[in-house]
Structure 1
């Protein structure tokens, strides 16, 4: 407990400068708003854009509540939401966070207990959430954020190109097979694979951590000694960097989720390993030229099986919100069974936020629309191993992140080093040597706590 409180203090101290930046963000604050204005900070992903589009339906049913949306890029959202919530700034009534932040912030008293509100809301059915996600968003048995959508990771590929080349993958595929397929498919104007290279603990490190895990690597040993220069980690990172440099997309060092989604959706790349939530872009005729041409396979493995990550973009209510009742009315609407059906009926069943509720996969319309990817998505989420993410034992949990407060800063710093290697600015060995120094500072503080 002392360890986490110290980490929280560091987080609060480091967030001060960002709160100043927040105060100048036009439309982001709640100063001058009525008691029934709910300010929502959200990531500008496609599912959230759909929610904003459909929010007129909520407004019509709740005329006493005004909604104010603040949409941010993924890295910017993480920084600003963390700063505001940690400092108790009160800028936002609803924040989009994940299963990384939720348990930690709940322990520090920064979030409202949503299970208490859910139990008072008729028909909300908290037990309908997929258990692995529900548990990951809980603290001491109660949920402190509720999932808007949940995700694991899988390989997406052009089935038509695979058929032309006679390529078949194992189930699950190995990274060795994926690299061979990327080389075979690579041609002018059509890179073999798209992989994230954009710095950020939630950008580049999300897919890369799963590669490190399945190659037998780990960030720390059981005694918090950093392992980023171990042979297993160096092999995994070298493999990832070589793959994206030799057969990946142009500008890989600045490519994140959105950029790779565009590349595959526009038919400019043959494969992509990333979030299962990408189907909302790939299978939507309005945003994709490859609808019906994509095949899906479980997250590639090497040594460790079940390599897929576990993540949820979820909605929480900061403890500092002055509009908790109105905020919950919006949150419970946006994460309800009824909302999921509304998306399907109004926007198309391919755009239903996946991976949050069990009942979603029981809807006949959704089951038909998601036949190619729905069962695999659900299976990947249910089989993710955040409590045992690595081959060898570790003192942390989390697949694509380490569930410790320091990881936001540590992960971002390490990702910058590896992104530089992808850009050709330094070698993988040089990047990992610097990353090891960053990790040593974090590991030392934990070792001191154990003494």
Structure 2
């Protein structure tokens, strides 16, 4: 047996016996739409062994986050049938499942669904039914260059104040030597800049909507949060920040150009510079929702002609066996396994030995509060779990990017964002 085949584990070896059970006696080809993040790109290599063992061909469509959301939403909503497996997240999975756009997932006992972290299972389910399986999960946290912070004489604590974050960014900021104090998302999109911005607003005690689901983007809390964000990134961020999201900032960080980065915990798996330290997300007095909760998950669109094969692949790609396959793969290793999904991953000695970020990551995931109602009448941390949110969030994202670039004042951007959100919510019939 080849080295590739040994990476599959018991689950995939069992699946190999099922190839002859396909209706026409031939294994199908699956078309899989994935986000172009590191773990998803790695999966294409690891899954070569799956094809060799099962005969199931895998056609990958790898897209930038915003483009993926647009294309997958359009195809799934219309029953276009372009994809057999799609990447979606916590905003879409419960809503699409209840709408009948994606299929319920039912795994065998060997899959051990109870090993999936409760926060991830809950966020991808509706009425107790799991509609998407998490490939990797995340919260958000501060990732900073402790060597630069020490040299500048500043410290960053868990749940620090935004004032101290501003002070630390200013102290580490050294653009003459290519170092920027803070690298933060600025690229417009409901899952791009608004993912980070919403957590900032939460930390100031703000919310997207009031108790009647009317937008409240013209509130004092939004004004304070966005003014701080624009000042922090405008003064101490890299030029052109309005075009940066996860992948762009990851590249900057690995080039040694960022003093700190507040973003997805999963980024820690891909940091290649020395001296990185971690802290829980900062806030302005309200820690509820200051760190987000998300999973990039795998789902099967309703009516897929290759449903059985698609379900089998998802069962493998989100299994304990897959974690072992990545950890033992010669191109990757234990520092590159997908995290934030299974409790068992954090008990693997080889993973513990290389994952300095694991404790901070788990702390962030466990403290995220998507169903906290103290400050908002909706479920979600960095999004609102309503069908209209992608449209609302995308409209507001453009205004926040305009404020960051200086094309509009913060006040003008918030006024225009409020008007856009109000029009969408009225058209949807909320009031």
Task: Identify whether the pair has TM-score above 0.5, normalized to the shorter chain.
Answer: yes
Question: Secondary structure in 2 aligned to 1:339?
Answer: helix
1:90 alignment partner, one of 74, 81, 90: 81
The answer (yes or no) to whether the contact 1:219–1:227 under 8 Å persists in 2 is: yes
Is 1:44 equivalent to 2:36 in the alignment?
yes
Aligned equivalents of 2:202 and 2:159: distance in 1? 15
Distance in 2, Cα, partners of 1:374 & 1:403: 28
Question: What is the total number of aligned residue pairs between the two structures?
Answer: 401
Q: Which residue of 1 aligns with 2:354?
A: 369
1:54 offset after TM fit, Å?
0.8
Name 2:248's counterpart in structure 1: 259
| Number of the residue aligned with 2:337 | 352
C-alpha separation in 1, matches of 2:430 and 2:242: 37
- Cα deviation 1:383-434 (Å, max 9, x = unaligned): 1011126x53x22111111111111111111000110111111101010000
Counterpart among 129, 141, 162 of residue 154 in structure 1? 141
User: Where does 1:19-418 land on structure 2 (aligned, <5 Å)?
Assistant: 36-63=28-55, 65-114=56-105, 116=106, 118=107, 121-187=108-174, 188=176, 189-282=178-271, 288=272, 290=273, 292-306=274-288, 307-346=290-329, 347-370=332-355, 372-388=356-372, 392=375, 394-418=376-400
Give the Cα–Cα distance (whole angstroms) in 2 for the partners of residues 98 and 265 of structure 1. 26
Query: 1: CA distance between counterparts of 2:27 and 2:92?
Result: 27
Tell me the alpha carbon deviations over residues 147-202 of structure 1, each in whole angstroms, 9 at most, x when there is no partner. 00000000010011112122122322121111110011111211100011101000
TM-score, L = length of structure 1? 0.87
> Is the partner of 2:328 in helix, strand or coil?
helix
Residue 445 of structure 1 deviates from its aligned partner by 5.2
Query: Which 10-residue stretch deviates more, 224-233 or 81-90?
Result: 224-233
Task: State the distance in 2 between where 1:401 and 1:108 align.
Answer: 19
Match of 1:23 in 2: none
Unpaired runs of 5+ in structure 1?
1-33, 283-287
CA distance in structure 1 between the partners assigned to 2:59 and 2:215 by the alignment: 43
Q: Give the root-mean-square deviation of aligned CA atoms.
A: 1.4
In the alignment, the residues of structure 1 paired with residue 394 and residue 212 of structure 2 have an alpha-carbon distance, to the nearest angstrom, of 23
Asked whether the 8 Å contact 1:46–1:280 carries over to 2, the reply is: no
How far off its partner does 1:106 sit? 0.5
Retained in 1: the 8 A contact 2:378–2:385?
yes
Q: Distance in 2 between matches of 1:376 and 1:435?
A: 34
Contact preservation (8 Å) 1:279, 1:350: no
2:158–2:281 contact (8 Å) kept in structure 1:
no
SS of the residue aligned with 1:76? helix
After TM superposition, give the deviation of residue 225 of structure 1 in Å: 2.5
Contact 1:156 1:297 in 2 (8 A): yes
Aligned with 2:120: secondary structure?
Answer: helix
CA distance in 1, matches of 2:264, 2:316: 25
2: CA distance between counterparts of 1:35 and 1:354? 30
Tell me how far apart the structure 1 counterparts of residues 145 and 182 of structure 2 sit (CA, whole Å): 10
Residue aligned with 1:39, SS: strand
**1:193 aligned counterpart, secondary structure:** strand
CA contact (8 A) 2:93 2:124 kept: yes
C-alpha contact 1:42 1:72 (8 A) present in aligned 2: yes
How many Å separate the matches in 2 of 1:194 and 1:381? 22
Give 2:10's aligned residue. Answer: none
1:204-242 per-position Cα deviation (integer Å, ceiling 9, x unaligned): 001110000001111111112221011111110111011
* Paired residue secondary structure (1:386): coil
Counterpart of 1:438? 420
Q: TM-score, normalised by structure 2?
A: 0.91
- CA positional deviation for 1:443: 3.7
Q: State the alpha-carbon separation in 2 of the partners of residues 377 and 170 from structure 1.
A: 15
Distance in 2 between residues matched to 1:407 and 1:153, nearest whole Å? 20
Runs of 4 or more, structure 1, over 6 Å off, are none
Conserved in 2, the CA contact under 8 Å of 1:35 and 1:322? no
